Structure 1
Amino acid sequence: MFNTLQDLMLHNKSITYVLMGVLLICFVGFWHFLTDKEERKRRY
């Protein structure tokens, strides 16, 4: 599949960057989920 060591390293690096981006997006969503406060219901 990979002809040279450079091809393998480039492939691994690109997969690492994609995974880090996905993890960052998931972490931000999870952080908002944890710190989300319920709004008080207004009683008139």
Structure 2
Amino acid sequence: EKITEESSIADVMAWYTSVNAVMLDILTNQIKETDNSGVW
């Protein structure tokens, strides 16, 4: 079964989006945690 270029691009985009969401979540939590110490 050959993966078409279009579907693999869609897979990459879906993966990238989910990773982005997780990273944004982690960064947001870190900013909230360090907000009190006045680093940001």
Q: Which has the higher contact order (CA 8 A, sep 6+)?
A: 2
Q: CA RMSD in A?
A: 1.7
**Structure 1: which 5+ runs fail to align?**
38-44
- Which ranges of 4 or more aligned residues in structure 1 deviate by more than 6 Å? none
Count of residues in correspondence between the two structures: 37
In the superposition, the TM-score normalised over structure 2's length comes to: 0.78
1:24 Cα deviation from its structure 2 partner: 0.6
Identity of aligned residues (%): 8
